[in-house]
């Protein structure tokens, strides 16, 4: 019973260090090492050397974000297709059926997005 509790204590210590050390490195060490000399010129919006002519924080249509999210999702899913295509001869019929199910789920998601008109710009 004592060794189990000791194992949980070790896991808790590593979990705490895993949370604490990155936060400390980003906030404390970063603040010590970086130069901090704010000016009003540095606070301006940079537009290729041109003077800003309007507010930089404008509202965008949420469909642009949804379109970008759909692109990222399907782009990442293609990454899963590539290793399967390379090793297709070694995997056999089971892997073919699994990949057909996977692609079918992607097609269902694409049809759903199409029906919700996520893929239209206007």
State pLDDT tens for residues 33-68: 888 888 887 777 666 767 767 776 777 777 778 888
50 SS3 class: strand
Return the sign of the alpha-carbon dihedral for residues 78, 84, 86, 88: negative
CATH of 2-115, one of 2.60.40, 1.10.287, 1.10.20, 1.20.58: 1.20.58
Tell me: pLDDT of 15 over 90: yes
CB environment 3-29: b (16+ within 10 A), e (fewer): eeeeeeeeeeeeeeeeeeeeeeeeeee
Q: What is the pTM of this model?
A: 0.47
Mean pLDDT of 73-101: 86
pLDDT level of residue 82 (50, 70, 90 thresholds): confident
Q: Give residue 21's Cα distance to chain centre.
A: 22
Nearest 10 degrees: Cα torsion 59, 61, 65, 66: 160
């Amino acid at each position: 019973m004592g060794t189990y509790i000791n194992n949980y204590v070790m896991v808790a210590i590593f979990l705490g260090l895993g949370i604490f050390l990155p936060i400390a490195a980003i906030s404390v060490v970063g603040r010590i090492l970086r130069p901090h000399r704010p000016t009003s010129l540095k606070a301006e919006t940079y537009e290729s050397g041109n003077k800003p002519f309007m507010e930089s924080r404008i509202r965008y249509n949420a469909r642009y974000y949804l379109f970008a999210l759909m692109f990222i999702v399907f782009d990442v899913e293609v990454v899963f297709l590539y290793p399967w295509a390379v090793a297709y001869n070694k995997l056999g019929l089971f892997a073919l059926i699994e990949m057909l199910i996977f692609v079918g789920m992607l097609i269902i998601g694409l049809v759903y997005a199409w029906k919700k008109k996520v893929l239209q710009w206007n």
